């Protein structure tokens, strides 16, 4: 087949253009990544994960801020798999993806908040897209909900095009926001109206989440994910421990005994059927009446988490690992 010289020249120009474009984008991406060191999503920790993890935990923000491994980490290799607004189903996906980092004979604390097994599917919630993006950076496609290859390309091939303030980032750089850097170190006793914060948290967790207080609708996917987490741990000779972190009295009193009875019935049923223990610290007297240990109505602060993790070590870990 005859190809004219003019066409050959055109093809060469196109190839050179594409090569230069690819090189330019690659250089821009590398420069961009040196300028953007923001970790508002809290996922950089997965870059530093070390093998042979003995003590770990899963969970949403209650697990994320509830465990502080600064002291315990001197004795054991520890890792916190929790992220804000994380569902049990993503807890399961994460530990499956990083299972090679988990040591046999370890302990995994599976954090269960009162709302964890109730409500709408994550994909139906307004915040789904914004929270789901982070998993493209830490999970393979088959473990990402509603996987979209275009989103994957944006995160891994052209991260620079994800930034709406790209020019500002190149000039000034982008770091983790001050709110995120300081959040864990706040003191609820000094940072505002605890009653108001408890009410807002209650509405967010129980009212807007499918009004689970009244209908007590169990989410089958999340319920199954909890039992799958337990099964996963046992298959790896890891001791699964169900746990609810401390809350303030102001937060827990709003939930109502009727809902709590339903929650405890279901969790205790899961614990009994799967031969695991459940530890409930939600109304622990060492925390509930002491807002100085909290960031807000339902999250421990740095010192509160340090105290709680020390209690967990003494009451649970030391009894299980000799």
Average pLDDT over residues 59-75: 98
pLDDT at position 3 over 70: no
The answer to whether position 175 is within a domain reads no
Domain at 204, CATH number: 3.40.50.1110
Domain count along the chain:
1
pLDDT at position 73 over 60: yes
Average pLDDT over residues 277-295: 97
Q: Which range is least confidently modeled, 21-35, 143-157, 212-226, 252-266?
A: 21-35
pLDDT at position 285 over 70: yes
The answer to whether position 107 is within a domain reads yes
The answer to whether position 11 is within a domain reads no
The answer to whether position 73 is within a domain reads yes
Q: What pLDDT, on a 0 to 100 scale, did the predictor assign at position 57?
A: 98
Average pLDDT over residues 244-249: 98
97 phi and psi, to 5 degrees? -70, -35
Average pLDDT over residues 29-56: 90
Cα–Cα distances (Å) from 203 to 176, 208, 222, in that order, read 28, 6, 20
pLDDT at position 4 over 90: no
Separation CA 280–CA 246 (nearest Å):
8
Q: Which residues contact 187 (CB under 8 A, 6 or more apart)?
A: 291, 292, 294, 295, 301
Q: What are the residues facing 218 on neighbouring strands?
A: 118
The answer to whether position 264 is within a domain reads yes
Report residue 115's pLDDT band, with 50, 70 and 90 as the boundaries: very high
pLDDT at position 276 over 90: yes
**What residue numbers bound the domain in which 220 lies?**
44-165+186-320
Q: What are the residues facing 107 on neighbouring strands?
A: 55, 239
**What count of other Cβ atoms lies within 10 Å of the Cβ of residue 268?**
13
Average pLDDT over residues 41-64: 97
Q: Which two tokens stand for residue 252?
A: 């827990």
pLDDT digits (tens, 9 = 90+) for 180-228: 889 999 999 887 899 999 999 999 999 988 899 999 999 999 999 999 9
Q: What pLDDT, on a 0 to 100 scale, did the predictor assign at position 293?
A: 98
The answer to whether position 179 is within a domain reads no
Q: What pLDDT, on a 0 to 100 scale, did the predictor assign at position 160?
A: 77
Q: Is pLDDT larger for residue 279 or for residue 168?
A: 279
Q: What pLDDT, on a 0 to 100 scale, did the predictor assign at position 2?
A: 52
Burial per residue of 270-300, b for 16 or more beta-carbon CB atoms within 10 angstroms, e otherwise = bbeebebebbbbbbbeebbebbebbbbbbbb
Mean pLDDT of the chain: 92
Q: What pLDDT, on a 0 to 100 scale, did the predictor assign at position 7?
A: 72
The answer to whether position 6 is within a domain reads no
Q: What pLDDT, on a 0 to 100 scale, did the predictor assign at position 33?
A: 75
The answer to whether position 256 is within a domain reads yes
Contact 71, 310 (CB under 8 A): yes
Residue from 64, 66, 58, 60 nearest 246 by CA = 66
Q: Is pLDDT larger for residue 287 or for residue 16?
A: 287
Q: Which two tokens stand for residue 131?
A: 């929270």
Q: What are the residues facing 109 on neighbouring strands?
A: 57, 241
Q: Which residues contact 37 (CB under 8 A, 6 or more apart)?
A: 173, 174, 175, 176
Average pLDDT over residues 4-15: 75
């Amino acid at each position: 087949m005859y190809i004219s010289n003019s066409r050959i020249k055109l093809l060469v120009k196109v190839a050179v253009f594409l090569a230069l474009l690819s090189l330019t984008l690659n250089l821009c991406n590398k420069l961009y990544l040196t300028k953007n060191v923001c970790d508002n999503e809290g996922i950089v920790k997965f870059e530093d994960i070390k093998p042979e993890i003995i003590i770990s935990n899963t969970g949403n923000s209650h697990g994320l801020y509830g465990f502080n491994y600064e002291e315990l980490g001197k004795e054991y290799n520890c890792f916190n798999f929790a992220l804000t607004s994380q569902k049990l189903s993503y807890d399961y996906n994460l530990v499956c993806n990083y299972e090679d980092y988990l040591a046999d004979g370890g302990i995994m604390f599976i954090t269960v908040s009162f709302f964890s097994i109730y409500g709408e599917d994550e994909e139906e919630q307004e915040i789904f897209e914004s929270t789901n993006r982070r998993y493209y950076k830490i999970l393979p496609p088959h473990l990402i909900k509603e996987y979209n290859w275009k989103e994957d390309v944006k995160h891994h091939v052209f991260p620079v095009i994800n930034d709406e303030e790209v020019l500002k980032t190149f000039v000034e750089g982008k770091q983790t926001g001050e709110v995120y850097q300081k959040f864990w170190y706040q003191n609820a006793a000094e940072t505002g109206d605890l009653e108001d914060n408890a009410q807002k948290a209650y509405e967010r967790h129980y009212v807007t989440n499918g009004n689970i207080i009244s209908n007590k609708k169990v989410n089958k996917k999340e319920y199954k994910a909890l039992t799958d987490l337990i099964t996963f741990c046992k298959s790896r000779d890891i001791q699964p421990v169900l746990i609810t972190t401390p809350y303030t009295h102001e937060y827990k009193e709003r939930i109502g005994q009727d809902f709590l009875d339903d929650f405890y019935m279901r969790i205790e049923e899961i614990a009994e059927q799967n031969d695991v223990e459940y530890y409930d610290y939600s109304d622990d007297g060492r925390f509930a009446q002491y807002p100085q240990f909290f960031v807000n109505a339902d999250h421990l602060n740095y010192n509160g988490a340090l105290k709680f993790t020390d209690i967990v070590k003494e009451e649970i870990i030391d009894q299980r690992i000799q």
